[in-house]
A and B are shown apart, each in its own frame.
Chain A
Amino acid sequence: MGFLPFVFPLAELEVGQHLYWQIGNFRIHGQVFMTSWLLIGALLALVVIGTKKMERDPKGVQNLLEFLWDYIRDLARTQIGEKVYRDWMPFIGTLFLFIFVSNWGGALVPWKLIELPSGELGAPTADINTTVALALLVSLSYFYAGLSNKGLRYFEYYVHPTPIMLPFKIVEDFTKPLSLSFRLFGNILADELVVAVLVFLVPLVLPVPVMFLGLFTSAIQALIFATLAAYYIGEAVEEHH
């Protein structure tokens, strides 16, 4: 029931335990969907409130949304380039917002108060399924971006400076989603574990700076994931002569 070397009460940590929902022949991790729906709901509520009555002089939530929009546009534009960033901005922005909301939601909301029969609620991004899903979407989208923008000339990219690059570039197609998913998964899970272990060992004061550090890493991870996704798409649509 537990997390390797600590056998005693750390069983509370419940790493690798899931609340299974059976749908037909498939099983899904219920706790991941429960938190992700709640967090997506909060995100959509914020968006709906902020865009309800938009004015030229922004007020309240509209300011926040415009700041986010501007931030995402700058991110997409610098990585993807002036020509096609508009097509990909919603995708990059959704990745950023979803990961950010998931990470912070996992760290800030006291999920522990809700008892589950098995497993525990937490950041959806601390589940490998979520991060791999996101990373595979990124892979699909950069292939799609390259092929739709340049047709079969996209494959010139694989032999670009010299044909020697071919094997490396093929390996890259596998390492990109692998590194994307494991970086996010590892950071968020590690953050949750560190906080949980510290809370167990020293339940006062000491975990607080680590929690702040966790918030910082969470935000950075969202930014890194979105930036890398945009960079891969930008690399795929880039015209090199």
Chain B
Amino acid sequence: MPTLFLFGASEGGLFDFDATLPLMAVQVVLLTFILNALFFKPVGRVVEEREDFVNTSRAEAKKKIAEVERLETELKEQLKEARLEAQKVILEAEQDSENLYKEALALATSEANASREKARREIDSQRDKALNQLKSEAENLGDLIVERLLANK
């Protein structure tokens, strides 16, 4: 008796099919439409908008990073050029100062030489003059002595 009952011959049982089946199917189909309108569509819209937002933001960020990297290399290039330029300027300045130093040295040396020469010549001429004077005086003195001697006679 229970076996019969369980496998549902007339009334009840586990396998008792009736209008529950089609009604449940209709209910689930209705639920599908309701959930589509209330759940799947709105949530999908929000999730996909966010996905778009994240994707575009990421693309923008990537673009910005590329831009920054480009600028960085450009600046590095500029920095290198500037450094090279600076080195060149320093080198030129050093050379200039060396040249100036050499010129000044040469000028000073030549001036010193010239003034030494002049001084020597002056000394020479004065010595000569003095010698000549001495000589003439000696001669005069000699003449005088001779005259005197001759006069005394």
Chain A residues proximal to chain B, CB less than 8 Å: 2-4, 15-18, 23, 26-29, 32-33, 36, 40, 44, 47-48, 50-51, 54-56, 58, 62, 65-66, 69-70, 72-73, 89-91, 93-95, 97-98, 124, 127-130, 132-134, 136-137, 189
A51 touches B47 (CB 8 A): no
Interface centre among B21, B44, B53 (most CB of A within 10 A): B21
Query: Which B residues are in CB contact (< 8 Å) with A56?
Result: 46, 49-50, 53
- State A55–B42 Cα separation when bound (angstroms): 11
Q: A4-B3, A137-B28 are in contact. List 9 more A-B contacts (CB 8 A).
A: A3-B2, A16-B5, A16-B13, A56-B50, A66-B43, A72-B40, A90-B35, A129-B18, A130-B21
B39 touches A29 (CB 8 A): no
A-B Cβ contacts below 8 A, count: 126
* Residue on B nearest A118 in the bound complex, by CB: B12
A69 touches B44 (CB 8 A): yes
Please provide the 5 A-B residue pairs with the shortest distance between their CB atoms, ordered closest to farther. Answer: A26-B19, A129-B20, A90-B36, A133-B25, A133-B24
Query: Which B residues are in CB contact (< 8 Å) with A137?
Result: 25, 28-29
B31 interface contact, C-beta 8 A = yes
A23 touches B2 (CB 8 A): no
A29 touches B20 (CB 8 A): yes
Interface centre among B5, B13, B21, B24 (most CB of A within 10 A): B24
B34 interface contact, C-beta 8 A = yes
B31 touches A28 (CB 8 A): no
A28 touches B18 (CB 8 A): yes
Query: Which B residues are in CB contact (< 8 Å) with A94?
Result: 28, 31-32, 35-36
B152 interface contact, C-beta 8 A = no
Chain B residues proximal to chain A, CB less than 8 Å: 2-3, 5-6, 8, 12-25, 27-29, 31-36, 38-40, 42-44, 46-47, 49-50, 53
* Residue on A nearest B39 in the bound complex, by CB: A47
B24 touches A16 (CB 8 A): no
A98 touches B31 (CB 8 A): yes
> Which of A4, A15, A51, A55 contacts B39, CB < 8 Å?
A51
Expressed in whole angstroms, the minimum distance between the Cβ of A116 and any Cβ of chain B is 13
A16 touches B46 (CB 8 A): no
* Residue on B nearest A14 in the bound complex, by CB: B12
Expressed in whole angstroms, the minimum distance between the Cβ of B112 and any Cβ of chain A is 89
- Assuming the contacts A28-B19, A56-B49, asked whether A69 and B6 have C-beta atoms less than 8 A apart, the reply is no
- State A98–B32 Cα separation when bound (angstroms): 9
Query: Which B residues are in CB contact (< 8 Å) with A95?
Result: 28
Query: Which B residues are in CB contact (< 8 Å) with A133?
Result: 20-22, 24-25, 28
Query: Which A residues are in CB contact (< 8 Å) with B22?
Result: 133
A28 touches B35 (CB 8 A): no
Interface centre among B19, B31, B35, B43 (most CB of A within 10 A): B43
Expressed in whole angstroms, the minimum distance between the Cβ of A198 and any Cβ of chain B is 20
A2 touches B2 (CB 8 A): yes
Query: Which B residues are in CB contact (< 8 Å) with A98?
Result: 28, 31
Query: Which A residues are in CB contact (< 8 Å) with B18?
Result: 26-29, 129
Query: Which A residues are in CB contact (< 8 Å) with B14?
Result: 15-16, 128, 189
